[in-house]
Amino acid sequence: MREAAYGLTGDFIFKEAVEFLRKKKPLTAAEYKALDSEYRAKAFTVSGYTSLEVLQKFLDELTDACENGKTKKEFMDTMNDFLERNGYEGLNPFNADVIFRTNMQTAYNAGHYKSMTNPTTKKLRPYWKYVTAGDGEVRESHAMMEGRIYAADDPIWNIWYPPNGYRCRCSVVSLTKSQVERSGEPVSRELPYDVDYSTGEVLYKYPDKGFSNNPAKDTWKPDLSGVDPNLKKAFKEREGGK
């Protein structure tokens, strides 16, 4: 897929995005919800459908769209033809957009992650910067991550790696040490947060429900040694005290 809207311009990222989708396995919503969050990147489901045949068709068409540059409309038309021929109600434009955009962004960002964590690339560009779409539609919690720079191996990326919600348009770019220095921006070591000034409570910000994981990683067990105590505490609380 070469659509500029999803940024799939690099051959490596493109190939890894297709491979990411090909490795997914269709599951019903109930089966998907039963998985631990770090294993969900391997699975695929669509709310409202329980037939594995239908779920496999969704996954096949998304993979085909990614590999051959098909548009959202082409995806929706093909799926609606299949669904209606098999006795199902067709997708409306909103649902088609959610399914298409979220899966394409997930596949792209997984491919981009593989590229950025290449040992040579990571050595030359050891910092990552979170970037939003920068418009009025960016969610408040996502906007609080805008422009934040972290080390590439910071555990923040196990929580805040996009997509961080349905139809999320955020991305991550890698930076050299000199680029970070020229930017004048500090290297962060903690989660974004607000403070309730009436109580003094620190309110950490997280991605949308169900998106607090890095889809590009099969599992993660981050090294929290030397990490800011607030981030370490927040991460452990997010993971249920593990």
Give me the DSSP letters along 102-146. Answer: HHHHHHHHHHHHHHHTSHHHHHH--EEEEE---STTS-HHHHTTT
Report how many domains make up the chain: 2
pLDDT digits 0-9 by tens, 202-227:
999 999 988 888 888 754 344 445 54
CA distance linking residue 187 with residue 96, whole number of Å: 38
Question: Using 50, 70 and 90 to split pLDDT, how confident is the model at 201?
Answer: very high
pLDDT digits 0-9 by tens, 43-97:
888 988 989 899 999 999 999 999 999 999 999 999 999 999 999 999 999 999 9
Domain boundary among 92, 110, 128: 110
Whether 40 and 143 map to the same domain: the answer is no
Question: Using 50, 70 and 90 to split pLDDT, how confident is the model at 33?
Answer: confident
Give me the mean pLDDT over the 107-111 stretch: 91
Whether 130 and 89 map to the same domain: the answer is no
Which range of residues forms the domain containing residue 65?
A: 4-110
In this predicted structure, what is the pLDDT of residue 231?
52
3-state secondary structure of 154: coil
CA distance linking residue 99 with residue 215, whole number of Å: 16
Taking alpha carbons only, the member of 63, 88, 93 closest to residue 77 is: 93
Whether 89 and 38 map to the same domain: the answer is yes
| pLDDT at position 103 over 90 | yes
Whether 159 and 97 map to the same domain: the answer is no
Average pLDDT, the chain: 85
Question: Using 50, 70 and 90 to split pLDDT, how confident is the model at 1?
Answer: very low
The pTM is what?
0.77
Whether 11 and 30 map to the same domain: the answer is yes
In this predicted structure, what is the pLDDT of residue 238?
47
Whether 126 and 234 map to the same domain: the answer is yes
